Amino acid sequence: MNFTELYNRIFNESVIDYHKIDYVDAPIDNKYELKSIEYYLYLKNWIDTVQWHLEDIIRNPEIDPVDALALKRRIDKSNQDRTDLVELIDSYFLDQNKTVVVNPNATVNTESPAWAIDRLSILHLKIYHMQQEVERKDSTAEHIAQCQTKLNILLEQKVDLSTSISELIEDISTGNKRMKVYKQMKMYNDPALNPVLYAKGK
């Protein structure tokens, strides 16, 4: 499997699919086999795409405070879902490389493959929306030129990040990198760790 082509294709597909409807409550139509790596990649980007638009909505200065609080809690839930998906994707890589003999001199990367892929998923969204700005008919030539410059940088970053992820996956598969995964120990959602929540139980 050429993983670079796979995740870039699926992320692009998800972004395009969402924007055909462009509605944060639209049901996801994930056509990939349940629990396959393709399924998780599509779901991951769909969550990111919905959250991108929730973040736009909550920044409306005229938003009703009650609606804003509901949105904030929805975004918190989305962040937890996103983290869970990243850990599932990392579990895929751990399973794929469980028989690899690790080089004694192997180093540990600053982030796992799935957290790098998470950044790439967000990058696809930045590229899509920057492209939209370049194509706006109601903006100035100066705005379009500035956005085109930013878009060019984002596209270059996509190539670099894709290459780096591919090299990391290759290094892990050949034992030249040691894959270590630290589960995200989020404290604010845990009633046993968030002092505001556990104080309620006293």
Q: Is residue 13 part of a domain?
A: yes
pLDDT of residue 155: 98
Q: Is residue 196 part of a domain?
A: no
pLDDT of residue 3: 87
pLDDT of residue 152: 98
pLDDT of residue 44: 98
Q: Is residue 200 part of a domain?
A: no
Based on the structure, what is the number of domains in the chain? Answer: 1
Q: Is residue 97 part of a domain?
A: yes
What's the pTM value of the predicted model, to 2 decimals?
0.90
Q: Is residue 198 part of a domain?
A: no
DSSP assignments along 20-68, one per residue? HH--TTPPP---SPTTSHHHHHHHHHHHHHHHHHHHHHHT-TT--HHHH
Domain residues for 103? 3-189
Q: Is residue 89 part of a domain?
A: yes
Q: Is residue 95 part of a domain?
A: yes
Closest to 6 measured CA to CA, from 29, 37, 30, 33: 37
pLDDT beneath 50: ranges in the chain: none
Give bridge partners of residue 151 from the DSSP assignment: none
Question: For 95-130, what is each residue's pLDDT tens digit?
Answer: 999 999 999 999 999 999 999 999 999 999 999 999
pLDDT of residue 15: 98
Residue indicated by tokens 């989020």 = 186
Q: Is residue 197 part of a domain?
A: no
